[in-house]
């Protein structure tokens, strides 16, 4: 078995953002302690049923939520638990998601000492106005400060998450955001289109007409502009939403798109081991209770039939800009993609959404923004 990627979900946040529909939030201390105890239990129980050869991991990703809100002792305790039950390769990529404003000099140094070598900062935007629309309580200045503090502490590998399609966001403010983002020279950038979820304060403001629906064509224009600028700035576009300096692609996230195994701990976390995909209960409360009562918190499982694995590998592989190597795919899955999906691929090519050349199937530039239409063809 290839080494695992280990994901740990920390649903704790300092406040609730206006667009957020995750099961995350502000929880009282007893709840956080109970959650962390349940996590330790899940890590121990999961590792106990694996054979000793299957206990190796080469990436750890602590996401959320805002895991950087936890104090260094708690994070250290969590990482020690993982290291106690799994063999973590010395060169492992260890990522922590962080909110600008939660990073101090002491915390940055402590993270580095704990072995964290990659931080993903939820910058979202470099406009104070857009930050307010999103209900983010950090400032633009704090984004730069966090990057500087992390660098000083020796964490060079920093990602900035950015959002486009924020209601009222203009092309001009996006250009400025890109200027600011590139000037910080992060090793990695992720750009996502904001999704407005029903039931969030942001959706309510749109319904009341306080904010205007983002214009889809403008959002696509923002994405296109980012592609141009990222390329000019020397970033490799390696997945629909992800860009990195050479050698700094997220090794953990690449596992999701390369049909590699991962273990997820905590509420909502997903796991995959080639045989099945499974996921945990969504809310922290349900997760803690299930761990207490039955020693596991699995909410659902999907067995990986041969067909499902092929469909997943194709869809996930297409997310990568390197595309799907048709010969390697046939060697790995025993399927000739052109034979099996010839008709579908012909219409996708005709629609200008995918292209095939040099034995590689990949999304076109148009296909990048309409990727879901492409993926729907394979299920």
Residue 345 beta carbon to ligand SF4: minimum distance, rounded to whole angstroms? 37
Report the C-alpha gap between 36 and 155 in whole angstroms.
Answer: 25
Per CB under 6 A, 137 contacts ligand SF4: no
Residue 136 beta carbon to ligand SF4: minimum distance, rounded to whole angstroms? 7
Site string for ligand SF4, 5-24 (x = CB under 6 A): --------x--xx--x-x-x
Nearer to ligand SF4, 163 or 324 (CB): 163
Site string for ligand SF4, 106-135 (x = CB under 6 A): ----------------x-------------
C-alpha angle with apex 21: 39 to 14, nearest 5 degrees?
60
Nearer to ligand SF4, 164 or 230 (CB): 164
Footprint (CB under 6 A) of ligand SF4, residues 48-107: 64-66, 99
For residue 98, what are the CA distances in angstroms to 1, 104, 122, 262, 264?
31, 11, 6, 21, 19
- DSSP E strands, 54-129: 56-64, 87-98, 118-124
296 membership: H or E segment, kind and range: none
Of 220, 143, 135, give the one whose Cα is nearest residue 189: 143
Report the C-alpha gap between 197 and 356 in whole angstroms.
Answer: 35
Residue 201 beta carbon to ligand SF4: minimum distance, rounded to whole angstroms? 11
Residue 68 beta carbon to ligand SF4: minimum distance, rounded to whole angstroms? 10
Nearer to ligand SF4, 122 or 186 (CB): 122
Residue 321 beta carbon to ligand SF4: minimum distance, rounded to whole angstroms? 26
Residue 348 beta carbon to ligand SF4: minimum distance, rounded to whole angstroms? 33
Sequence-distant (≥ 6) Cβ neighbours of residue 350 within 8 angstroms = none
Strand partners for 278: 271, 301
Residues forming contacts to ligand SF4 in the complex (CB under 6 A) are 13, 16-17, 20, 22, 24, 64-66, 99, 122
């Amino acid at each position: 078995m290839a080494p695992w990627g280990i994901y740990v979900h920390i649903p704790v946040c300092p406040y609730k953002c206006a667009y957020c529909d995750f099961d995350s939030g502000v929880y009282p201390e007893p709840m956080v302690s109970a959650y962390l105890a349940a996590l330790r239990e899940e890590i121990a129980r999961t590792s106990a049923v694996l054979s000793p050869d299957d206990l190796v991991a080469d990436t750890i990703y602590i996401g959320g939520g805002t895991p950087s809100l936890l104090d260094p002792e708690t994070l250290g305790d969590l990482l020690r638990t993982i290291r106690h039950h799994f063999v973590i390769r010395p060169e492992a990529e260890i990522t922590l998601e962080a909110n600008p404003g939660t990073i101090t000099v002491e915390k940055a140094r402590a993270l580095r000492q704990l072995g964290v070598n990659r931080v993903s900062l939820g910058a979202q935007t470099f406009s104070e106005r857009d930050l307010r629309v999103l209900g983010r309580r950090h400032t633009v200045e704090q984004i730069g400060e966090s990057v500087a503090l992390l660098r000083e502490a020796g964490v060079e590998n920093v990602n900035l998450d950015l959002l486009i399609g924020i209601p009222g966001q203009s092309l001009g403010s996006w250009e400025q955001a890109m200027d600011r983002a590139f000037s910080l020279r992060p090793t990695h950038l992720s750009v996502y289109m904001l999704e407005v979820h029903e039931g969030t304060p942001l959706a309510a403001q749109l319904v009341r007409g306080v904010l205007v629906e983002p214009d889809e064509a403008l959002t696509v224009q923002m994405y296109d502009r980012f592609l141009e600028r990222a390329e000019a700035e020397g970033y490799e576009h390696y997945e629909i939403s992800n860009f990195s300096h050479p050698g700094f692609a997220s090794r953990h996230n690449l596992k999701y798109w390369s049909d590699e195994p991962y273990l997820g701990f905590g509420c909502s976390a997903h796991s995959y081991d080639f045989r099945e995909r499974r996921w945990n209960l969504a809310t922290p409360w349900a997760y803690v209770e299930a761990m207490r009562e039955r020693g596991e918190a699995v909410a659902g499982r999907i067995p990986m039939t041969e067909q499902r694995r092929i469909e997943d590998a194709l869809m996930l592989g297409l997310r990568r800009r390197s595309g799907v190597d048709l010969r390697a795919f046939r060697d790995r899955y025993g399927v000739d993609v052109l034979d099996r999906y010839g008709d579908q691929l012909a219409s996708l090519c005709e629609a200008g959404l995918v292209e095939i050349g040099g034995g590689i199937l990949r999304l076109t530039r148009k296909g990048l923004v309409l990727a879901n239409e492409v993926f729907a063809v394979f299920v």
